[in-house]
């Protein structure tokens, strides 16, 4: 897969779910896919653009990655294996196909590793699982995403889960619109491109008719 450096902003995080946003760090899955996570620093920038991670934790991960670049590369590799297994599983389910057993096992193995590294902590009168750089090390982001991925697969309203209709996109998102008819990841990008293409086709048709 081609690597494409990218600076992540809020409009890259439109999946409606952390696990979906991770899948969307590869773009153009419907054509020539481009992976926007060239290195661990890019992953940290993606994580900073999310609200699922603590600033101090991400700073600690940055220090760990700087101290052990080889370990950071290996951790990024594990994250991408989870990302691709999740993507294949979602695509299969959304297209009415049976997901590959190897992908399901991979997602569950990531979940099991995440569960093993979790701590149960008191928080606002409840007990919540949390993950720390001390226990999860460079896999902290993978651990948090793995937990969300299982929750998504078990609990998501699949009728609201979509693959963007846009060309050169392939992003996945939860359609939370009232009408439940959202077709594009983002109206401002894929939606507008689709509208422009329809306009061009209509326009070309008019010209052909005029010429004939």
Alpha carbon of 63 to those of 21, 133, 134: distances in Å?
Answer: 24, 10, 12
Which range in 22-30, 61-69, 137-145, 157-165 contacts Zn ion by CB under 5 A?
A: 157-165
Report, in angstroms and rounded to the nearest whole number, the Rg of the chain calculated over CA atoms: 20
d(CA 41, CA 139) in angstroms, rounded, equals: 14
Residue from 82, 100, 79 nearest 91 by CA: 100
Closer to Zn ion by CB, 84 or 165: give it.
165
| Tokens found for residue 186 | 């983002």
Q: Which is nearer to Zn ion, 76 or 185 (CB)?
A: 185
Stretch that binds Zn ion, among 7-15, 69-77, 132-140, 159-167 (CB under 5 A): 159-167
Number of separate helices (H) and strands (E) present in the chain: 8, 7
Largest CA distance in the chain: 75
Structure tokens at 189: 């990008």
From the list 10-18, 103-111, 141-149, 177-185, the region that binds Zn ion by CB under 5 A is 177-185
Q: Contact between 169 and Zn ion (CB under 5 A)?
A: yes
Q: Which of 17, 85, 143, 166 binds Zn ion (CB under 5 A)?
A: 166
Residue 172 in the binding site for Zn ion (CB under 5 A) = no
Is residue 164 within the footprint of Zn ion (CB under 5 A)? yes
Nearest C-alpha neighbor of 148 from the set 114, 188, 101: 114
Choose between 56 and 167: whose C-beta lies nearer to Zn ion. Answer: 167
CA–CA gap between residue 115 and residue 159 (Å, rounded): 28
| 15 contributes a contact to Zn ion by CB under 5 A | no
Beta carbon nearer to Zn ion, 83 or 162: 162
Toward Zn ion, which CB reaches closer, 121 or 167? 167
Q: Is the CB of 68 or the CB of 193 nearer to Zn ion?
A: 193
Q: Which of residues 94-123 bind Zn ion (CB under 5 A)?
A: none
26 in contact with Zn ion (CB under 5 A):
no
Burial of 48 (0-12, 13-18, 19+ CB in 10 A): middle
Q: Which of residues 50-79 bind Zn ion (CB under 5 A)?
A: none
The CA dihedral of 140, 171, 176, 83, to the nearest 10 degrees, is -20
Stretch that binds Zn ion, among 6-14, 94-102, 173-181, 190-198 (CB under 5 A): 190-198
Site residues for Zn ion per CB under 5 A? 164, 166, 169, 171, 185, 190
């Amino acid at each position: 897969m081609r690597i494409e450096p990218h600076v992540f902003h809020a409009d890259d995080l439109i999946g409606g779910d952390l696990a979906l946003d991770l899948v969307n760090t590869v773009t153009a899955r419907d054509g020539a896919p481009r992976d926007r996570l060239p290195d661990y620093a890019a992953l940290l920038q993606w994580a900073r653009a999310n609200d699922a991670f603590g600033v101090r934790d991400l700073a600690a991960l940055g220090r760990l990655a700087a101290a052990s670049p080889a370990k950071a590369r290996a951790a990024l590799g594990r994250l991408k294996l989870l990302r691709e297994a999740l993507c294949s599983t979602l695509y299969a389910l959304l297209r009415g196909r049976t997901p590959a057993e190897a992908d399901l096992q991979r997602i569950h193995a990531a979940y099991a590793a995440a569960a093993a590294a979790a701590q149960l902590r008191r928080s606002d009168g409840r007990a919540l699982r949390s993950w720390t750089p001390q226990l999860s090390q460079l896999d902290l982001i993978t651990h948090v995403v793995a937990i969300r991925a299982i929750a998504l697969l078990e609990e998501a309203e699949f009728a609201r889960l979509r693959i963007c209709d846009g060309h050169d996109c392939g992003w996945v998102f939860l359609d939370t619109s009232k009408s439940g008819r959202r077709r594009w990841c983002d109206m401002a990008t894929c939606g507008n491109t689709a509208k422009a293409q329809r306009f061009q086709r209509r326009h070309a048709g008019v010209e052909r008719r005029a010429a004939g």
